[in-house]
Each structure stands twice: as C-alpha cells, then as structure tokens.
A and B are shown apart, each in its own frame.
Chain A
Amino acid sequence: MSDNGVIFSTEALNLWYGKNQALKNINVNIKMQKVTAIIGPSGCGKSTFLKVLNRMVDLVPNVKYTGSVNLQGHNIFDENINLVNLRTRVGMVFQKPNPFPKSIFENVAFGPRIHGKHKKSELNELVEKSLRQAALWDEVKDRLNEPGLSLSGGQQQRLCIARTLANEPEVILMDEPTSALDPAATSRIEDLVRSLRKHYNIIIVTHNMQQAGRVSDETFFFLNGELIETDRTEVIFTNPKDNRTEEYITGRFG
C-alpha cells in the first residue's frame, strides 16, 4: 500500500497540545504529483496537520500524538526516523516570509551547505536552478549578494520557496503562503505553485476558497480537528457530500 500514487498516508492520527485535542482520528491518503489544498475555519487544525508531516510539531512543548503517518512506506513516527532527512525530503514554506538575515545567495545555499554541499560551482548551479524554479532569478540575478531582507514581501516569499527547493525535496508544505502578500504577489505565488506541481507534491493550507480552487487538484476540509471531507477540488466546490463542507465553502460559517 506504500506506493500506488500515494505520498503520505495517515492512520488513526490523533494529536494533543496538552489536554487540547487538535487532530482527531485522521485517516487519509495524500496523492502524489498533486496539489492538495487544506481548508477549514481558523483553529480547526490545518497548520497542525501540516506540521505533523515534517514533524515540526515536535518543537511545541507538551505535544503528543498517536497513530501513524507513512511517507512512502516509512512511518515517520518511528523512533529511528532521521528528522534531518525527513525535513530535507519534506520542505516547508511559512505563512510569514522568513528569509535569514543573510544574502540572497546564502539563503538559497543554506540547505545544500548544511547537507554537505560545499563546492562553489555546485552551489552556484543549485542556487540558480532553485531561483529560476521559484521565478525569482530574473529579478535577483544581479544582486545575489544583497540581503534577502531587502526584497519585497512577495519576493521574500519566493526566496523562501527557492530556499526550500534547493534541498530538492519531494514534498513542499505551504502554510497560508500568500496571506501576508498583496494580490499581485499572491497571483505570482499561485502561478508558481501551479508550475511546481509537475515535479513536487505540494500541500497548501489556505483560507482563500478561490485560491484553493485555482491551485489545487485535491481539497481536504477540516473542522474542529476532524477531517470532514476529501475529494477532487472541483467536486468539493461544486458538489460536496457533507453539508458542513457546503456551508463552509458557501461562506455560511467560518
């Protein structure tokens, strides 16, 4: 059951922050080579679900989880799982652009460097490739040594995507990557997501229904820590089975 088009599959995934249960019995398959959107009202556990997939949730004190999450046949909750490898394979882009206070080049080269790539030519190539994939190369190719923080918000977010791409991950997790950006910058990121879907498995949390409709193939609807419905995006938006899903996407609550 490991392969056949599934990148992640969760079984009986439960998660608690202290006594507060944030994820309740999640059983789901995330398909390969697809953009999966996660929608749901604030506090329903979208970010939590995302952070389970690269175990960033471990950084929260008092977090506890049960069940299993399989990444191509490996349970990432196994004790002997190598978190460095997991997080290299499963990259993450955050809500607020967070480039390091380093140059544009050093931001992108960060991942490859800590994973042992030091040859200048190799790094140069990787940095250019990643910036091109992130549709940022033309804007920054003459200023690679300037601080990443000197870029605009939208450029910073694309820099963060390039930084993630430089690790050559299989999965990219994006937690509301455009919520801090203006419409023009948002649409560039959306274009980018669409162009990346051929080579990466992308899971994107969004509060914006139109965005989910525009960029995703599959949509998961969460409510109060439960996964209510999963389906192809057009089905979720045109013909949801659960009326809570319908209420949410038609804007009647949340």
Chain B
Amino acid sequence: MAKLDEADFYKIQVQKQPAVGTSSRKMQDDLTQQSIKSNLGNFILEKFFLICGMLSIFVLLLILYFLLKNSWPALQEVRISEFIFGQRWMPSSPNPGFGALPLILGSIIITVGALLMAVPWSLAAAVYLGEAAPRLIREILKPVIEVLEIFPSVVLGFIALVVVGPFIARVFNLSSGLIGLTGAIVLAIMALPTIISISEDALNSVPKDYKEAAIALGATNWETARYVSIPAASSGIVAAVMLGFGRVVGETMAVLMAAGNALDMPLKEILNIPVPTLMQSMRTLTATIAIEASDVPWGSTHYHALFVIGVVLFVITFLVNLVSDIMLSRFQEVNRND
C-alpha cells in the first residue's frame, strides 16, 4: 500500500461505499473528495504567497532599520534641520559641514528635469506605438526599446561625458558641459524605455471594445487615445512613470559622470529670487554616497551622515510613491473603471 496513486485511492473510496449509495450519492462523495484536495492545494499556495509577501516586507523593514540605526549617531551630533537646510556639505574638512541641501536640491532638480523630458516624450511614443503605429513598425521598435532598458548605465554615463557634455558646452557656450542639464538628459534617456514599454503595455491591455466603440462614434485615433485609451490605462501609466522616477532618482553612475559634481547650491538669482537651475554643475544624493563611501573613516560622523543621506533618499521616494497613490485613487474615484 505504500504507492497509492490517485486512481486507486478513489477506487477504494468508492468500493468502501455501502451499497445503498445511489450514483448521485457517489457523485456527491467524489465532489467532496475533490474539494478537500483542491482546498488543501489552495491553502498551501495561499500561505506560500503570504509568506513570500511577508518576507519581502520584512526585508524592507530590516533595511530601513539598518539605515535608521546607522544614521542615528550622526543625528545626535548634527541637528536634522542642519542636515536638511544647511547649505555647506564639507563632511571631511577640519571644520565639517553637514548641510545636504545642495545635494537634495541637486537630486530633485535633476530628477524633475529628467522626468519633464522623459514623461511627455515616452507617453507620446507609447501612444504612437500602442494606438497608431503599423504592426510591423511596432514589432520592430518594441524589442529595440526593451533592449535599451538593460543598457548599462555606466556606458551611458561615459557617452554623456565624452559626447553630450561637449555638445552642451558648445550649444550654451560654457567652459564645461558637465552640468545638471547633461545629467538630466542622460537620466531621461535611461528612463524612456521603462516608461514607454510599461505604458505601452497598459495601453495595449485596454479592451479593444472600447477603442472600437470610440472609432465607431467618429473619434479619430488621437481622440480615441486621449479620451478612452489613456484614461482606461491610467493606473498602468502612473505605474510606468513611478518606475521611471525610481530609475531616475536612484541612478548613480551616469549622473555622477555627467552632472559635474559641484557642491554649490544649484540656484540662480533671477531678479533677486533664487530659482532652481539645471545650468550649473551639481551633485545628487546618490552620487555623494558613491563618491564618499569608499574612503570615509568607518564609524565617523561622516560615515553615519552618509546613512542620513540614504534615509533622505528613502523619504523622497516614499513621499512620491504616496502622493502618486493618492492621486491615482482620487482619479479612479472620478473615473471609476468598474
């Protein structure tokens, strides 16, 4: 009896049934048998997914704990307001400054600049690919774009250094083209494939029924995209933009090579009002960690300050995620999908 396969198992069950059982009785038993079996499968799968989900949350919390624990010593020596609003980042000088504002602004300005370029551009491309492009063109372009997605960022950084930088310098007549704009351009290019391919997928998964209905009402391709496909795909498009944002704000190597790494405030006075600018050399939060982590004395305030930068990055991404979630649920409230 060691090897009892399924068929035998059922046979035995059926044979054990008292003869009074009509065929419908038998069927009922078979039904309950099966449901116990599939219930068990369901139960195990459900728990498995639950455990995987919990595990990933746990790992995330662990990282957060590690970040906070390691930034704590620095926060005891330097006030948090000094970190966020201080304008002098000189962590290894004899008279150290831990003002991360230039870095925070650098990250924000470059990210916003990159997204301002990448989002409209990639949405236009996604709408073209998803709604208007002939099949052949789409089938060629999509894989090409997806390959761009896995292009090593250090290579793009290098191209920025030797091609984009000098080009920008010539166009704007600067001594060095390694400025925020160059970094933003490179990051925009890096974010394009992600945003294009994910929002194109979202547009593509809008039921064909909707598009046909719109076209049969006399809508043009553009109107169909604008009033039907894009709203119906909005959650996917927001997710695509969020992924693009994540890529841009977290990118290190390329922006380190392209943006020039100056520690000045990336602001320009226009009519006595300081205005954020992309036209200066600047440094991002990520680049700061990458540049300084390798030779910082272990356990020093500077060391712990780099963890504070990590926390700041975490908070920025968290806030952006939160805001986009709220925006999305508002949007869906108005434009409910089902």
Which A residues are closer than 8 A to B by beta carbons?
Answer: 54, 56, 59, 61, 83-88, 91-92, 94, 96, 98-102, 110-111, 113-115, 147, 149, 160, 163-164, 167
Give the distance in Å from the alpha carbon of A253 to the alpha carbon of B227 in the complex.
45
Give the distance in Å from the alpha carbon of A88 to the alpha carbon of B232 in the complex.
23
Tell me the minimal C-beta distance from B228 to chain A in angstroms: 6
Q: Kindly list the 10 A-B residue pairs having the minimum CB-CB distance in the complex, ordered from nearest.
A: A98-B209, A88-B218, A92-B216, A87-B218, A111-B217, A101-B337, A84-B218, A98-B213, A147-B336, A114-B223
Is B292 part of the binding interface, using a Cβ–Cβ cutoff of 8 Å?
no
Is B220 part of the binding interface, using a Cβ–Cβ cutoff of 8 Å?
yes
Known contacts A56-B215, A84-B218, A101-B232, A110 near B135 by CB under 8 Å = no
Is B335 part of the binding interface, using a Cβ–Cβ cutoff of 8 Å?
yes
Interface contact A94-B217, CB-CB below 8 Å: no
Tell me the minimal C-beta distance from A125 to chain B in angstroms: 19
Interface contact B215-A167, CB-CB below 8 Å: no
Known contacts A101-B336, A114-B223, A114-B227, A91 near B210 by CB under 8 Å = no
Known contacts A61-B135, A110-B227, A167-B218, A101 near B338 by CB under 8 Å = yes
Interface contact B228-A56, CB-CB below 8 Å: no
Is B276 part of the binding interface, using a Cβ–Cβ cutoff of 8 Å?
no
25 contacts between A and B (CB under 8 A): A56-B212, A56-B215, A56-B216, A61-B135, A83-B218, A84-B220, A85-B218, A87-B215, A87-B218, A91-B216, A94-B213, A98-B212, A98-B213, A101-B232, A101-B337, A101-B338, A102-B335, A113-B227, A114-B217, A114-B219, A114-B223, A115-B218, A149-B337, A149-B338, A163-B217
Instruction: Kindly identify which residue among B135, B212, B218, B336 contacts A94, using a CB–CB cutoff of 8 Å.
Output: B212
Interface contact A101-B231, CB-CB below 8 Å: yes
Contact residues in B for A96 (Cβ distance below 8 Å)? 209
Known contacts A61-B135, A100-B228, A101-B335, A167 near B209 by CB under 8 Å = no
Interface contact B214-A100, CB-CB below 8 Å: yes
Contact with A along B123-154 (1 / 0, CB 8 A): 00000000000010000000000000000000
Interface set, chain B 300-338, CB cutoff 8 A to A: 335-338
Apart from the given pairs A98-B209, A164-B217, 11 other A-B contacts in the complex at a CB distance below 8 Å: A56-B212, A59-B215, A86-B218, A87-B216, A91-B216, A98-B207, A101-B210, A101-B337, A102-B231, A147-B336, A167-B218
Contact residues in A for B227 (Cβ distance below 8 Å)? 110, 113-114
Contact residues in B for A113 (Cβ distance below 8 Å)? 227
Contact residues in B for A59 (Cβ distance below 8 Å)? 212, 215
Interface set, chain B 177-229, CB cutoff 8 A to A: 207, 209-210, 212-220, 223, 227-228
Interface size on B, residues (CB 8 A): 22
B215, B231, B232 — which one has the most chain A CB atoms within 10 A of its CB? B215
Give the distance in Å from the alpha carbon of A59 to the alpha carbon of B207 in the complex.
15
Contact residues in A for B335 (Cβ distance below 8 Å)? 101-102
Contact residues in A for B223 (Cβ distance below 8 Å)? 114
Give the distance in Å from the alpha carbon of A86 to the alpha carbon of B227 in the complex.
20
Give the distance in Å from the alpha carbon of A12 to the alpha carbon of B213 in the complex.
29
Interface contact B217-A88, CB-CB below 8 Å: yes
Instruction: Kindly identify which residue among A85, A110, A147, A149 contacts B217, using a CB–CB cutoff of 8 Å.
Output: A110
Q: Whose C-beta in chain B lies nearest to the C-beta of A101?
A: B337
Give the distance in Å from the alpha carbon of A167 to the alpha carbon of B228 in the complex.
17
A110, A147, A163 — which one has the most chain B CB atoms within 10 A of its CB? A110
Tell me the minimal C-beta distance from B137 to chain A in angstroms: 13
Contact residues in B for A102 (Cβ distance below 8 Å)? 231, 335
Interface contact A100-B210, CB-CB below 8 Å: yes
Q: Whose C-beta in chain A lies nearest to the C-beta of B135?
A: A61
Give the distance in Å from the alpha carbon of A166 to the alpha carbon of B244 in the complex.
40
Known contacts A96-B209, A110-B227, A91 near B217 by CB under 8 Å = yes
Interface contact A54-B209, CB-CB below 8 Å: no
Give the distance in Å from the alpha carbon of A92 to the alpha carbon of B217 in the complex.
8
Tell me the minimal C-beta distance from B128 to chain A in angstroms: 17
Tell me the minimal C-beta distance from B199 to chain A in angstroms: 17
Contact residues in B for A84 (Cβ distance below 8 Å)? 218-220
Interface contact A160-B338, CB-CB below 8 Å: no
Contact residues in B for A160 (Cβ distance below 8 Å)? 213
Contact residues in B for A147 (Cβ distance below 8 Å)? 336-338
B135, B207, B217, B220 — which one has the most chain A CB atoms within 10 A of its CB? B217
Tell me the minimal C-beta distance from A200 to chain B in angstroms: 15
Tell me the minimal C-beta distance from B206 to chain A in angstroms: 9
Q: Whose C-beta in chain A lies nearest to the C-beta of B337?
A: A101
Contact residues in A for B135 (Cβ distance below 8 Å)? 61
Tell me the minimal C-beta distance from A163 to chain B in angstroms: 7
Tell me the minimal C-beta distance from A238 to chain B in angstroms: 35
Tell me the minimal C-beta distance from B253 to chain A in angstroms: 42
Tell me the minimal C-beta distance from B135 to chain A in angstroms: 6
Give the distance in Å from the alpha carbon of A163 to the alpha carbon of B217 in the complex.
8
Give the distance in Å from the alpha carbon of A101 to the alpha carbon of B228 in the complex.
8
